[in-house]
Amino acid sequence: MSDEVKKPESAVGQPCAECNRRRFAKVGLGAIAVAGAGSAVFGYEFLSPNVLYEPSPIVDAGKPDLYPADSVTPDPQNGIYIVHGAQGIYTLSAVCTHLGCLTAWKPELGIIACPCHGSKFHIDGVRFDGPAPRPLPWLKTWVDDDGNLLVDRSEPLEKKQFVRI
């Protein structure tokens, strides 16, 4: 007898039974590793904070000199109208009180109109036509220490308030 251990041989071209078990173990461990890595990625995403970075509700509208007397200046990016009337400067929200559409200033008619549902507002925000239930809100407006006009879009005013220049 020889000390050599003979491996069982199978049919020609067929791997032996031990090779099949090894391959099965490698594939199984590989699948478990991929599933574990995927779980770790999703677990990390679940535990990391989902923060929405929204722009500040306070808008720097620049120097009051930019707004000539008796003018309406729309700022669609910030959703406001800066109006320089006879009593001073005030700011209106450009968001329609009906369904939240962005309104448009119509200089030829001297009105603010909602292009979606037809609400119409006077220059002081009062609704005179259409389905909007409330007037356009006035927003808190003030001049800071540097002389810039600031508007707080998050704070509608109960009473009309003008910034005198």
14-72 pLDDT, tens digit each? 656 556 888 888 888 999 999 999 999 999 988 888 888 888 888 888 888 888 888 88
Question: Rounded CA gap, 54 and 51, in Å?
Answer: 9
Q: How far is CA 88 from CA 70, 71, 72, 85, in A?
A: 9, 11, 12, 5
At residue 129, what are phi and psi to the nearest 5 degrees? -160, 150
At residue 106, what are phi and psi to the nearest 5 degrees? -110, 90
Looking at residue 15, what is its pLDDT?
59
Question: Rounded CA gap, 85 and 151, in Å?
Answer: 16
Q: In the CATH scheme, what is the code of domain 58-156? A: 2.102.10.10
pLDDT above 80 for 4: no
**Among candidates 68, 63, 88, 90, which has minimal Cα distance to 146?**
63
The tens digit of pLDDT for each residue in 68-100 reads 888 888 888 888 999 998 888 999 998 988 888
Looking at residue 8, what is its pLDDT?
56
At residue 37, what are phi and psi to the nearest 5 degrees? -65, -40
Q: What is the mean pLDDT of the chain?
A: 84
**Among candidates 89, 90, 118, which has minimal Cα distance to 106?**
118
